[in-house]
Amino acid sequence: MKICFITLGDIKSIATMKRALGMANPLQALGWDVSIIALDSEENRSRISIECNENVQVHYYKDCSAKEEVAIKTRLVNQICPDFIYFCSFSFRNRIIKSKLKHKPKILIEHSELASSIPDNKGPKKIALRLLEYYSVYYADGLLCASRYLEREYHKMARQLMKKRLPILYSPYAFNNDVIDAARILQQELNERYKNNTVLLYMGTMTRNYGLFTMLQAVEQVTKQKPDIKLLLLGRGRHLEEAKTYVQQHGLEPYVEFKGYTPENELSSYFDRADAFISPLNDTVQDWARCPSKIYMYIPFRKPIFTSKIGEPKEIFGDDGHYFNTNQPDTLSKLIAALADGRLQKTDVNIDEHSWDQRAVDFTNWISAQYAVRFAAAGSEVFS
């Protein structure tokens, strides 16, 4: 049984390729023949070479116009002839021309956010994105939703479009075992540098909307009593320079470090050294709908995760999570103080439930049930 993941852009700026990379090897172990279509970029090639074995067929395309990209992807699908096409995201340029296909594969589309709900998307753009969300329901033979909110939203859209029986699978992001097993190339250096610190780590986009200034204000509050705190910020974003100015103006240089984009092979060292992770979420449709993939990367390191009691964190941790309100920095500073004092209660999570291996099993079982495909053993399948 062949599956072809169709991805969009460079993974440094568009992270939706993560599912293709995470599930490729586990799906092969379950009997799938896996292909990936990806933009030819240095980071994509690096990540694919690290996470995918040599049996995964990768087809690269050069950066080009949207029209050319759609045509190239259509030609590649005709060349691969997969039984299932899996769009890791769906957009005006990440699609194919169905009328030009030489065969009729099942088309699966993943949704990891509700783009029409993002505040920056206004007016005609918001309308166009909402129409695209509905069009994906019409276009697809099945959907995968990375959050419970999206699962409910797309079931509603399917009913409105008279596609009540459209198969929809709830499938959040997950972690890759390779991240846990990766060599800690910076471990000794980080352990020495932060040997006297309580280290907090945030990895993501540096924007106000993602809680950047909530974290800075919380650190500012707590360091008056806990001067050993160190906040490491990994990533880039449009409010990065503004945040650096805030740190300078408020004398937070001893407590906050901006690390910028961090290569994948260094992440395990930072995760291992961190005493806690921060993943801010706002009580908005945008954050209820999106799947915070970083949380799943943090889970296997068994450290406290400071986040918000909405959306996917609530699904994962229930009432036992370490939650704060992004509009009230003091709620985060209290968690940080409790961590520094050793007063924080441990949250137990079954990490095996959140691996890409498990997601691949769940996906394969769903495919078997919905599309009458039975995987008898690795490398074989039968239709029933």
Region 90-115: mean pLDDT is 94
Joined tokens for residue 352? 């095996």
- Please indicate, yes or no, whether residues 247 and 344 belong to a single structural domain of this protein: yes
- Please indicate, yes or no, whether residues 340 and 211 belong to a single structural domain of this protein: yes
Give the tens place of pLDDT for each residue, 307-365.
999 999 999 999 999 999 999 999 999 999 999 999 887 778 888 899 999 999 999 99
CATH code of residue 318: 3.40.50.2000
Burial 83-105 (b: 16+ CB within 10 A, else e): bbbbbbbbbeebbbeeeeeeeeb
Give the H/E segment covering residue 357.
Answer: helix 356-371
Length of the chain: 384
Q: How many CA atoms lie within 13 A of 154 on its CB side?
A: 32
**Is the distance from CB of 203 to CB of 172 less than 8 angstroms?**
no
Joined tokens for residue 127? 């309308």
- Please indicate, yes or no, whether residues 10 and 59 belong to a single structural domain of this protein: yes
Q: Which among 175, 155, 49 has a CA at the least distance from the CA of 111?
A: 155
- Please indicate, yes or no, whether residues 29 and 161 belong to a single structural domain of this protein: yes
Distance, in Å, from the CA atom of 202 to the CA atom of 306, rounded to the nearest integer, reads 10
Joined tokens for residue 368? 């078997």
Predicted confidence at residue 177, as pLDDT, reads: 76
Predicted confidence at residue 116, as pLDDT, reads: 93
Predicted confidence at residue 383, as pLDDT, reads: 38
For the chain, the average pLDDT equals 92
Joined tokens for residue 259? 């690390």
Checking if the pLDDT of 379 tops 70, the result is no
Joined tokens for residue 120? 């920056």
- Please indicate, yes or no, whether residues 96 and 206 belong to a single structural domain of this protein: no
The angle subtended at Cα 372 by Cα 370 and Cα 378, nearest 5°, is 105
Percent of the chain with pLDDT over 90: 81
Give the tens place of pLDDT for each residue, 147-185.
999 999 999 999 999 998 999 999 999 998 766 666 688
Distance, in Å, from the CA atom of 2 to the CA atom of 19, rounded to the nearest integer, reads 16
Total-model pTM: 0.89
Q: Which among 345, 338, 347 has a CA at the least distance from the CA of 218?
A: 338
The helix/strand/coil state of 259 is: strand
Q: How confident is the model at residue 14 (pLDDT cuts 50, 70, 90)?
A: confident
- Please indicate, yes or no, whether residues 23 and 159 belong to a single structural domain of this protein: yes
Region 16-29: mean pLDDT is 94
Checking if the pLDDT of 374 tops 80, the result is no
- Please indicate, yes or no, whether residues 359 and 321 belong to a single structural domain of this protein: no
**Domains in the chain: how many in total?**
2
Joined tokens for residue 310? 């909405």
Q: How many other CB atoms sit within 10 Å of the CB of residue 241?
A: 11
- Please indicate, yes or no, whether residues 184 and 67 belong to a single structural domain of this protein: no
Question: In DSSP terms, which residues pair with 33 in a beta bridge?
Answer: 2
* Alpha helices, H only, 250-355: 264-273, 285-289, 293-298, 311-317, 329-341
- Please indicate, yes or no, whether residues 157 and 196 belong to a single structural domain of this protein: no
Structural domain containing residue 163:
2-174+355-383
Task: Work out whether strand 373-377 and strand 380-383 pair parallel, antiparallel, or are unpaired.
Answer: antiparallel
Distance, in Å, from the CA atom of 132 to the CA atom of 314, rounded to the nearest integer, reads 28
Give the tens place of pLDDT for each residue, 255-310.
999 999 888 788 889 999 999 999 999 999 999 999 998 999 999 999 999 999 99
Q: How confident is the model at residue 381 (pLDDT cuts 50, 70, 90)?
A: very low
- Please indicate, yes or no, whether residues 261 and 148 belong to a single structural domain of this protein: no
The helix/strand/coil state of 172 is: coil
Q: How confident is the model at residue 251 (pLDDT cuts 50, 70, 90)?
A: very high
Distance, in Å, from the CA atom of 265 to the CA atom of 187, rounded to the nearest integer, reads 12
- Please indicate, yes or no, whether residues 119 and 243 belong to a single structural domain of this protein: no
- Please indicate, yes or no, whether residues 267 and 335 belong to a single structural domain of this protein: yes
Give the tens place of pLDDT for each residue, 63-94.
999 999 999 999 999 999 999 999 999 999 99
